[in-house]
């Protein structure tokens, strides 16, 4: 029986009040509800505050390089597609350093769950703007304010026909947990952009700021309508929709790789004697 | 008997088709073959050549002089006519060259016209040309006709017959019209031998080692590994994934390796520059990986399709931080096969990155071998998996052990979790900041493993006079040319070759004190395809030995036998 105790990890080194605590709670609750055991999942992360999450619970963990969690996760899935793989990452790690991998992972539709803790700022390096920092925001290294346009992960996801694209708000933990469960049950790549207040460095996008703006998508909203989803993905400002923005039923990458149709690569044997036959090609 | 044939022309004219066919026919006829290629970084046009040498004795390099030049363009004639031997001949088709060459060396053969008349399609001009070369050499045609059947049988009998007719037409024409041809290649007792290139040998070595995952981004000269492995994906159950960039390529391979399969990536200098952080990740997480690194002349884009040995020091120092690594530098396709196998074994046994460092010259050159002895292959699964993992009471990925090697378990096979981290970590794999753990971890993954790894490294090959006054020293693809030069010069002087195919860590002196051997020589020479002598610098840094003289070539072209002999002669005054 999997309980919250099963998932007790190390004591988090996050700032008191950090939005990450709520995300960690939703994460553990989701795993308990799915009755997955720690050795039955693998969590891959890069560098940043979000990337420390696997240490604060219990699971198979690959905590690698800044921005490079998705390729590692892709390699793990191709080697063992019986293993659910989750990536915990942040806006700097995933949308900044690892942008090319995000595009490639969405295009492949590799069955990896990507949970992006989006606090719209760099926390670990102390307050520089991230790709999702709003235009005009001033920081130590940009005294005249951010010039680049704010990155919109939902619009990118819809444009690339992402299998599952959702936005959540860390403080709406029940809703976040339900989205995480839906992502886990989705057969393909799933992105959840999680709005996460940073109590230390982001003085603009605070708990209050988000609470005044976020709203649950209406029950009649159809996330399978791509054009409607694109319009919805552009909504930001006074009102910010949370929920599943877009989903489709594209087959996952792993389902289309013939070599693993019979079972995971890691459980396939190796017969060294086969090489003798292959060498005959060279005579 | 020792003949060289050069096929020259523009990219896209079928140089490779003719060269590959001749190489195969010569090998199947019982001869030894060595071939190498020279091509530009373009898909059509330019000037390219394919040079094949055949002999009744083993071969290991190309010569300057050629006996038959198959000129598919006029530039082949202007560039290579002077390379002909005194009895040499040039064959060409005046209609494609739009130029009639006069002189006793020329034999005009209407490749396209004969192809159209006898084969029904001028695309078979290459069959005519190949047949013509065989006719000029005085060889039989049967083996080529068999090869045509093997090659085209899937396309139907008619195609096979048409190609055979075209080959026959070229063959007969040459027999009748090359009255001054003095070549004599008898079809002797036929012995079955292999003709194999460096790049396929690396890919085959991976397959023979249970490699299950290869991720890479295309880059000359490594792309052939990806292509060959992809052609065997189904048969061997190996996944080949073209990554979005080299950073992804190495990280994917590390993910697959972590998940429990043998994994490899391949690239060239520029791509490897992008992989460097991933290399360091392999070092810190102790994740086994094999990296095939194909050198071409740099810096930056350099000469994309040419050869150099310019990245040895780059590999040696690549990756931030300190961690063990192994670099193999095969000199022949045979060595490439076995060293790739050894790379997989050592990478997994010690949980480290292992390199196969090759270059364009080795990748593209083809050699003849009697066979590959498969009993020499190593295969042992060092991972903790299945029931063996399940019965463990406790599991720590980075458990401190006497050898420094911690159990490498397959995640998901037991109820224990497998935690790896790019941060400094404790035995379980969790982030730490304390000094004591740091010191123990460096001791575990670096100091304890290093002597064990070093004990696996074979001494350099010594070929020739064991009391040699002149020693040609090198690593990687210069093996063949150094060997032939030793054979040639041994007739008149005391000379040997010292070749390092397991270049780093440098072999210890247990089995062979190669530094003492070099010190005894009157003229220890270091020969490298680079500008600054990277290997000689490493040898000096690690052993204190300084070469008396060095020979460097960095024009992107490999040494021929005559060129290296000339260079060695230039230093003989120092003996």
Percentage of residues of chain B with pLDDT beyond 90? 95
Domains in chain A, please, with CATH? 4-282 (3.40.50.970)
Decide if pLDDT at B188 tops 70. no
Q: Which of residues 37-76 of A touch B (CB under 8 A)?
A: 37-40, 42, 44, 47, 52, 54-55, 58-65, 68, 70-76
Largest interatomic CA distance in chain B: 85
Band of the pLDDT at A205, cuts 50, 70, 90? very high
Nearest CA in chain A to B279: A65
Contact in structure between B515 and B498 (CB atoms under 8 Å): no
Nearest CA in chain A to B430: A55
SS3 B552: strand
Q: Do A259 and B233 touch (CB under 8 A)?
A: yes
Domains in chain B, please, with CATH? 2-177 (3.40.920.10), 196-376 (3.40.50.970), 383-456 (no CATH), 461-574 (3.40.50.920)
Match 């050198």 to its residue by tokens: B295
Q: How far is CA B422 from CA A52, A62, B350, B452, B474, in A?
A: 11, 8, 18, 24, 36
Decide if pLDDT at B49 tops 80. yes
Give the pTM.
0.97
Decide if pLDDT at B257 tops 70. yes
pLDDT, tens only, B516-561:
999 999 999 999 999 999 999 999 999 999 999 999 999 999 999 9
Residue B227: its pLDDT value, please? 98
Residue bearing the bigger pLDDT, B422 or B190: B422
ipTM beyond 0.95? yes
Match 């560039």 to its residue by tokens: B79
Is A282's Cβ below 8 Å from some Cβ in B?
Answer: yes
Q: Residue range B198-220: average pLDDT?
A: 98
Q: Residue range B148-168: average pLDDT?
A: 96
SS3 content of chain A, % helix, strand, coil (to 5): 40, 15, 45
pLDDT, mean over chain B? 96
A192/chain B closest Cα distance in angstroms: 22
Helices (H), B260-325: 269-285, 312-317
Q: What is the full DSSP assignment across A200-230?
A: TT-SSS-HHHHHHHEEEPPTT--TT-HHHHH
Out of A60, A258, A276, the one facing B418 most closely (by C-beta) is A60
Supply the DSSP symbol for A126.
T
Residue B550: its pLDDT value, please? 98
Residue B575: its pLDDT value, please? 74
pLDDT, tens only, A33-87:
999 999 999 999 999 999 999 999 999 999 999 999 999 999 999 999 999 999 9
Residue B184: its pLDDT value, please? 84
Which among B510, B379, B504 is positioned nearest to B453, based on CA atoms? B504
SS3 B90: strand
Contact in structure between A65 and A82 (CB atoms under 8 Å): no
pLDDT, tens only, A104-119:
999 999 999 999 999 9
Residue B187: its pLDDT value, please? 65
Q: Residue A199 CA to chain centroid, in angstroms?
A: 21
Nearest CA in chain A to B265: A75
Q: Residue range A194-201: average pLDDT?
A: 96
Out of A10, A71, A274, the one facing B236 most closely (by C-beta) is A274
Q: Which of residues 85-144 of A touch B (CB under 8 A)?
A: 100-101, 103-104
Band of the pLDDT at B202, cuts 50, 70, 90? very high
For residue B39, is it left (φ>0), alpha (ψ between -120 and 50) or beta? beta
- Within 10 A of B565 (CB to CB), how many other CB atoms are there? 17
Q: What is the full DSSP assignment across B194-206?
A: EEEEHHHHHHHHH
Q: Residue range B135-148: average pLDDT?
A: 95
Q: Residue range B18-45: average pLDDT?
A: 94
Residue A23: its pLDDT value, please? 98
Q: Residue range B21-36: average pLDDT?
A: 96
């Amino acid at each position: 029986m999997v309980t919250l105790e099963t998932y007790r990890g190390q004591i988090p080194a996050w700032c008191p009040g950090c939005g990450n605590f709520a995300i960690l709670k939703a994460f553990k609750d989701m795993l308990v509800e799915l009755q997955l055991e720690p050795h039955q999942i693998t969590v891959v992360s890069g560098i940043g505050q979000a990337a420390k999450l696997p240490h604060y619970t219990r699971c198979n963990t690959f905590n690698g390089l800044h921005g490079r969690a998705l390729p590692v996760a892709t390699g793990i899935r191709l080697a063992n597609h019986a293993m659910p793989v989750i990536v915990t990452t942040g806006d700097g790690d995933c949308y900044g350093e690892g942008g090319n991998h995000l595009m490639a992972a969405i295009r492949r539709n590799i069955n990896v769950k990507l949970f992006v803790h989006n606090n719209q700022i760099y926390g670990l390096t102390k307050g520089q703007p991230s790709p999702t920092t709003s235009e005009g925001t001033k920081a130590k290294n940009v005294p005249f304010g951010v010039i680049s346009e704010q990155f919109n992960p939902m619009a990118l996801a819809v444009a690339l026909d992402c299998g599952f694209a959702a936005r959540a708000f860390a403080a709406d933990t029940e809703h976040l947990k339900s989205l995480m469960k839906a992502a886990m049950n989705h057969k393909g790549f799933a992105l959840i952009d999680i709005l996460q207040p940073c109590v230390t460095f982001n003085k603009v996008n605070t708990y209050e700021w988000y609470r005044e703006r976020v709203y649950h998508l209406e029950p009649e909203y159809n996330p399978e309508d791509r054009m409607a989803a694109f319009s919805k993905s552009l909504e930001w400002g006074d009102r910010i929709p949370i929920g599943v923005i877009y989903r489709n039923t594209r087959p996952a990458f792993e389902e289309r790789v013939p070599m693993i149709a019979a079972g995971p690569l890691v459980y396939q044997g190796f017969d060294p004697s086969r090489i003798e036959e292959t060498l005959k090609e060279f005579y | 008997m020792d003949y060289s044939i050069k096929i020259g022309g523009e990219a896209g004219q079928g140089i490779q088709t003719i060269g590959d066919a001749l190489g195969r026919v010569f090998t199947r006829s019982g001869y030894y073959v060595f071939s190498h290629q020279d091509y530009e970084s373009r898909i059509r046009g330019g000037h390219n050549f394919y040079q094949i040498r055949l002999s009744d004795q083993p071969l290991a390099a190309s010569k300057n002089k050629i006996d038959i030049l198959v000129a598919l363009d006029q530039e082949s004639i202007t560039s290579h006519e002077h390379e002909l031997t005194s009895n040499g001949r040039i064959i060409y088709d005046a209609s494609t060259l739009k130029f009639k060459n006069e002189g006793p060396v020329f034999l005009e053969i209407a490749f396209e016209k004969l192809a159209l008349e006898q084969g029904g399609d001028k695309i078979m001009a290459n069959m005519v040309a190949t047949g013509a070369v065989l006719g000029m050499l005085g060889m039989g045609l049967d083996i080529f006709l068999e090869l045509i059947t093997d090659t085209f049988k899937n396309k139907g009998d008619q195609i096979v017959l048409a190609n055979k007719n075209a080959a026959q037409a070229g063959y007969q024409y040459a027999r009748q019209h090359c009255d001054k041809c003095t070549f004599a290649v008898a079809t002797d007792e036929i012995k079955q031998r292999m003709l194999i290139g460096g790049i396929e040998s690396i890919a085959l070595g991976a397959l023979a080692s249970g490699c299950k995952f290869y991720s890479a981004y295309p880059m000359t000269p490594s792309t052939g590994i990806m292509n060959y492995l992809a052609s065997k994906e189904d048969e061997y159950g190996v996944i080949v994934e073209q990554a979005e960039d080299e950073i992804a390529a190495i990280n994917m391979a590390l993910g697959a390796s972590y998940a429990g399969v043998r994994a490899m990536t391949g690239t060239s200098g520029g791509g490897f520059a992008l992989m460097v952080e991933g290399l360091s990740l392999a070092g810190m997480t102790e994740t086994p990986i094999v990296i095939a690194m194909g050198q071409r002349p740099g810096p930056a884009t350099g000469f994309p399709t040419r050869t150099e040995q310019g990245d040895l020091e780059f590999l040696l120092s690549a990756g931030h931080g300190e961690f063990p690594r192994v670099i193999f530098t095969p000199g022949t396709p045979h060595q490439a096969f076995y060293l790739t196998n050894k790379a997989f074994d050592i990478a997994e046994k010690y949980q480290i990155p292992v390199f196969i460092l090759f270059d364009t010259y080795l990748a593209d050159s083809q050699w003849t071998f009697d066979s590959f002895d498969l009993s020499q292959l190593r295969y042992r699964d060092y991972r903790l998996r299945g029931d063996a993992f399940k019965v463990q009471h406790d599991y720590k990925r980075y458990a401190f052990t006497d050898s420094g090697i911690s159990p490498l378990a397959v995640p998901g096979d037991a109820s224990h979790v497998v935690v790896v981290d790019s941060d400094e970590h404790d035995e379980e794999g969790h982030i730490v900041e304390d000094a004591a753990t740091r010191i123990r971890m460096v001791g575990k993954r670096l100091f304890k493993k290093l002597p064990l790894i070093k004990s696996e490294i074979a001494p350099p090959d010594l070929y020739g006079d064991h009391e040699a006054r002149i020693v040609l020293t090198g690593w990687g693809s210069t093996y063949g040319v150094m060997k032939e030069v030793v054979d040639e010069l041994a007739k008149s002087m005391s000379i040997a070759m010292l070749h390092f195919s397991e270049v780093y860590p440098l072999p210890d002196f247990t089995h062979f004190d190669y530094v003492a051997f070099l010190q005894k020589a009157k003229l220890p020479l270091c020969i490298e395809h680079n500008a600054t002598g990277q290997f000689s610098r490493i040898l000096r840094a690690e052993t204190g030995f300084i070469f008396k003289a060095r020979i460097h070539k960095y024009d992107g072209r490999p040494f021929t036998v005559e060129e290296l002999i000339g260079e060695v002669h230039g230093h003989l005054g120092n003996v």
